[in-house]
Amino acid sequence: MLERKELSAVELTESVLARVEAVEPSIGAYVTVTADIARVQAAAADRLRAKGLGGPLTGIPICQKDVLATRGVRTTCGSRMLEDFVPPYDATVVRKLQEAGAVMIGKGNMDEFAMGSSTENSAFHPTRNPWDPARVPGGSSGGSAAAVAAGEALGATGSDTGGSIRQPAALCGIVGLKPTYGRVSRFGLVAFASSLDQIGPFGRSVHDCALLLQAMAGYDANDSTSVDAPVDDYAGALSGDVRGLRLGIPEEYFTADLDPAVRACIEEAIADLERAGATIVRGISLPSTPHALAVYYIIAPSEASANLARYDGVKFGYSYHDGGGMWEDMERTRQHGFGDEVKRRIMLGTYALSAGYYDAYYLKAQKVRTLIRQEFDRAFERCDLIVAPTTPTVAFRLGEKSDDPLQMYLSDIYTIPVNIAGLPGMSIPCGFAQGLPVGMQLIGRPFEETTLLRAGDAYQRLTVWHQRRPELAAMEAGS
């Protein structure tokens, strides 16, 4: 409609801002709404389009996860520690999307410092699932996912350390893509676990995610982990053809822990892909998968304990000043500034790295990490993509797992191995169970996002799951 001049970017942005005003009280997807900035960016997008300039994202309203630095706009990471922090620069991803003409509607709510699977750990408010506001949207990028699902943004950014893009995408019935580690710059991303974190897009369709990834991907000298690899024309490669593509089915992802209704949706999606011409390869084995959760909860907290040491009340962020001296002030800053889940993970990581335990825990976890990557490499000798569930269940109720950290951690059991191995992964809507969305996960070889997107797009051409909208959206829109 923008290209055909049936709608201006300003009109589109105003409609999305009106949508935010209408549904935000019941969803809570945003920490900060940047309406004035959005209007300025939308007007600039219209001027570009009037000159015949711009691209497919010019004038498209998006949500930025509040873990990405935004110049002049507070970046809280869902934490009291950074409640009033305003960065002096933009994250590379934010800058690239601005250069592509995208309009920032606001900053998406999240679990504090990206530590969580439900967006209940935000210091400000929980985010609710648009399909059932009594349930979680997933996490840690739950605000971004809920914003897209509820029509409060047309696309969004997220970060994925152990499933924090794919899991909320699955629970909210949208598409979420975690790129290969090193594909997208992490400069300006507030770090949780530096060897696992990766930024990626949310969209209503695979095609939308392809357009967003196109703008986000590429080498960045500001990020030492950024890989100088060619960026494909992702949207241009969506042929709708999966004939001859080999899809591996890992037996370790289809265990008794998988909800039978979720399993039925995944199996039907696999059958759809087979009917489209893909070759299904059964019996793919990833034997170290049961150990992935333990590996993750040693490596990630260890890196977090180092990364979060910078929040000492001295340089920036929340600072406690009423103690008996510098050391007490520092202790009180961290006591009051961090939430329970963040403190839990700092303690886990500090313990794993401490003298006498480093070899027993951290070093052993890194060795198993290598085994997990090697097993994926062997699996990809037999197949081009791996197909699996994204989550073992549909969205659970708010508060249901808050008092049981282990049950909460198990929500990411199928997504964590992908981060450990540094691979690309994507969740696509593939059905409903108990009236709630189910996500199918596609896992690819390093830097083969094009193959992931091609298969996902072909699946969406066969199905209509991604076109379904939550009733909340339909009612609020007046339809």
Residue ranges in 177-286 assigned as alpha helix (H): 206-216, 260-275
Query: 393 is written with which tokens?
Result: 């269940």
Is residue 51 annotated as part of the catalytic site, yes or no? no
Q: Which residues pair with 184 in a beta bridge?
A: 217
**What is the model's pLDDT at position 71?**
98
Q: What is the pLDDT of residues 179-196, one digit of tens each?
A: 999 999 999 999 999 999
Q: Is 65 a catalytic residue?
A: yes
Residue 290 neighbours by CB distance under 10 Å: 11
State pLDDT tens for residues 80-116. 999 999 999 999 999 999 999 999 999 999 999 999 9
Q: Which of 157, 149, 77, 62 is nearest to 110 (CA)?
A: 77
Residue 1 corresponds to which tokens in the numbers above? 């409609």
- Identify the band that residue 64 occupies on the pLDDT scale cut at 50, 70 and 90: very high
Say yes or no to pLDDT of 476 above 60: no
Instruction: Inform me whether the pLDDT recorded for 479 exceeds 60.
Output: no
pLDDT at 460 over 50: yes
Q: How far apart are CA 48 and CA 387, in angstroms?
A: 41
Is residue 140 annotated as part of the catalytic site, yes or no?
yes
Beta-ladder partners of 417: none
Phi, psi of 127, rounded to the nearest 5 degrees: -100, 145
pLDDT at 406 > cutoff 90: no
Query: For 390-399, how does the pLDDT look when each residue is reduced to its tens digit (9 = 90+)?
Result: 999 999 999 9
pLDDT at 226 over 90: yes
Instruction: Provide the whole-model pTM.
Output: 0.96
CB atoms within 10 A of CB 337: 23
Rounded-to-integer distance, Cα 400 and Cα 289, Å? 26
Mean of pLDDT values over 303-310: 96
Evaluate if residue 267 carries a pLDDT over 90: yes
Q: Given 65, 96, 107, 401, which residue is catalytic?
A: 65
Contact between 257 and 392 (Cβ < 8 Å):
yes
Q: What is the pLDDT of residues 320-372, one digit of tens each?
A: 999 889 999 999 999 999 999 999 999 999 999 998 999 999 999 999 999 99
Query: Between the CA of residue 188 and those of 112, 227, 427, what are the distances in Å?
Result: 17, 16, 25
What's residue 477's pLDDT? 38
Q: What is the mean pLDDT of residues 120-140?
A: 98
Looking at the chain, the whole-number percentage of residues with pLDDT higher than 90 is 95
Of 25-39, 174-188, 393-407, 436-450, the least confident: 393-407
Active-site residue, selected from the candidate residues 117, 144, 164, 305: 164
List Cα–Cα distances, 319 to 26, 121, 305, 325, 436, in angstroms: 32, 21, 19, 13, 42
Distances (CA, A) of 475 to 36, 288, 412, 469: 27, 46, 32, 10
Catalytic residue among 140, 144, 205, 288: 140
Q: Which fold has domain 9-287+374-476?
A: Amidase signature (AS) enzymes (3.90.1300)
Rounded to the nearest integer, the mean pLDDT of the chain is 96
State CA 196 to chain mean position distance: 12
Q: What is the pLDDT of residue 471?
A: 87
pLDDT above 60 (res 176): yes
